[in-house]
């Protein structure tokens, strides 16, 4: 396993992403809101502690036999050491890959604390911390993604877009497997609730497939997400 840490101040939080999570589409906030956003972002950066962990596993995909009723076709089976499950969408994402990386990343508990505190004082600030925390977590995941790709490139391996449990037909229950395989509580401070939500809240887990042949690949942003056509926060 490989661990990464960073200071919150080293993560660039794109302002346009904060606006997007706040629901601003095609317009900009007024000066008063811009000032509040700036103050909250600076506070969030001071209070955050980005951490991540990742590990590489050999990958095996098994396609089902051609069924007579395609509507009832079983999902493709995905196998890595210590984990076996079915997901047609993830299997499609991983086609041609010889290995897969499991990653977990968080910006730490600071965002959760700031949101809870703001909810008792200013719901405007609470909404800004939610939006800025989501944008910061995404920016940290993108940075971790780039570091992983750099390591794998040295081995002549090329990435597919990352894909998280809970998206499409990938079961959220896989969070338990991520937690066990990556030892998330001890390696990066992420634990799970009984309903499989991650604590701290601004945390992400994901699969990243790697193949020996380069393929067209959008690594970041809405274009890489299978839910882009239905998401309220899409660009």
Alpha-carbon torsion angle 136, 139, 141, 142, nearest 10: 180
- pLDDT(233) > 50: no
pLDDT digits (tens, 9 = 90+) for 82-127: 999 999 999 999 999 999 999 999 999 999 999 999 999 999 999 9
Residue 111's alpha-carbon distances to 48, 107, 199, in angstroms, are 7, 8, 11
Average of per-residue pLDDT values in the chain: 90
Extents of the domains making up the chain: 2-59+93-224
Q: What is the pTM of this model?
A: 0.86
| Fold that domain 2-59+93-224 belongs to in CATH | NADH Oxidase (3.40.109)
Separation of alpha carbons 203 and 133, rounded Å: 10
Helix/strand/coil for 110: helix
pLDDT digits (tens, 9 = 90+) for 147-183: 999 999 999 999 999 999 999 999 999 999 999 999 9
pLDDT range class, residue 235, cuts 50, 70, 90: low
């Amino acid at each position: 396993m490989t661990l990464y840490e960073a200071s919150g101040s080293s993560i660039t939080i794109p302002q346009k992403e904060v606006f997007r999570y706040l629901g601003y589409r095609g317009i900009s906030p007024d000066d008063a809101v811009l000032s509040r956003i700036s103050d909250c972002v600076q506070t969030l950066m001071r209070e955050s502690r980005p951490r991540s962990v990742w590990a590489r596993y050999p990958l095996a995909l098994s396609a089902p036999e051609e069924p007579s009723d395609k509507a009832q076709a079983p999902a493709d089976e995905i196998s890595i050491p210590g984990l076996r499950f079915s997901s047609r969408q993830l299997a499609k994402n991983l086609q041609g890959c010889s290995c897969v990386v499991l990653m977990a990343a968080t910006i730490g508990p600071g965002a959760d604390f700031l949101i809870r505190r703001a909810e008792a004082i200013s719901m405007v600030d609470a909404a800004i911390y939610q939006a800025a925390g989501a944008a910061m977590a995404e920016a940290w995941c993108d940075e971790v993604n780039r570091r992983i790709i750099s390591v794998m490139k040295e081995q002549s391996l090329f990435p597919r877009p990352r894909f998280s449990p809970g998206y499409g037909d990938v079961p959220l229950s896989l969070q338990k497997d991520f937690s066990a395989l990556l030892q998330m509580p001890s390696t990066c401070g992420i634990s799970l609730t009984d309903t499989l939500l991650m604590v701290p809240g601004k945390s992400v887990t994901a699969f990243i497939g790697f193949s020996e042949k380069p393929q067209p690949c959008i690594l970041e942003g809405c274009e890489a997400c299978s839910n882009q056509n239905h998401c309220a926060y899409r660009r």
